[in-house]
Amino acid sequence: MADTAQETHAPVQDDPSRRDFIYIAAIAAAAGGAVATVWPFVDQMNPSADTLALASVEYDLTKVEPGQQVVILWRKQPLFIRNRTPEQIAAAIKDDNAAMKDPQKDEARHKPGKAQWLILLGSCTHLGCVPTVGGGEYGGWFCPCHGSVYDTSGRIRKGPAPLNLAVPEYSFLSDTKVKIG
């Protein structure tokens, strides 16, 4: 379909408008067909149906002790499920009005009435390394790659990362069960 380009200097000069119409229509049809053909070849790289089918997982929270963090694999990425102690929650709320790169209240980072459960994407917002839990001067996370420091609410406090650790879409199915994604 590629070389359908018709030359502009046609051999006959009898009826220029009809001639031009045919050439323009043919070229336009070829271009339209080419664009429609390209789409499947681009779209095939998007996640396939089986990948999409596993985009959400359910997790039983009783497996996480207070003060602990469990890392599970979600959409082929680490997901932090942290059971925060009252002290950690208090430390996070205390800093709600401190100067931050990406200001956010602690209550915006967990589900209402579930302050103990912090569920975050375990991927540093700088370049995607996995931050280590409990590191850094705020007791949240510390990214070993380039030294970003997060607090106990997962907010960026120091270092090159521009944003807070992302909160995925999730919901509580019961008091002890969450569905992520």
d(CA 117, CA 5): 63
DSSP 62: G
Q: Which is nearer to other proteins, 60 or 137 (CB)?
A: 60
Choosing from 17, 35, 44, 76, the residue that interacts with other proteins (CB under 8 A) is 44
Token pair for residue 146?
A: 């380039």
Name 15's Cβ contacts closer than 8 Å, sequence gap at least 6: none
Q: Check binding of 29 to other proteins (CB under 8 A).
A: yes
Choosing from 16, 17, 35, 49, the residue that interacts with other proteins (CB under 8 A) is 49
Catalytic residue check, 146: yes
Q: Check binding of 176 to other proteins (CB under 8 A).
A: no
Q: How far is the CB of 148 from other proteins (least distance, A)?
A: 29
Q: Check binding of 43 to other proteins (CB under 8 A).
A: yes
Token pair for residue 29?
A: 């049809």
Which stretch of DSSP H or E encloses residue 25?
helix 16-43
The backbone torsions φ and ψ at residue 74, rounded to the nearest 5 degrees and listed phi first, read -135, 125
Choosing from 17, 35, 41, 76, the residue that interacts with other proteins (CB under 8 A) is 41
Choosing from 16, 17, 61, 63, the residue that interacts with other proteins (CB under 8 A) is 63
Strand order in the sheet with 149-150: 132-133, 141-142, 149-150, 156-158
Site residues for other proteins per CB under 8 A: 1-7, 10-12, 14, 19, 22-23, 25-26, 29-30, 33, 36, 40-41, 43-46, 48-54, 56, 63
What residues are annotated to the active site? 146
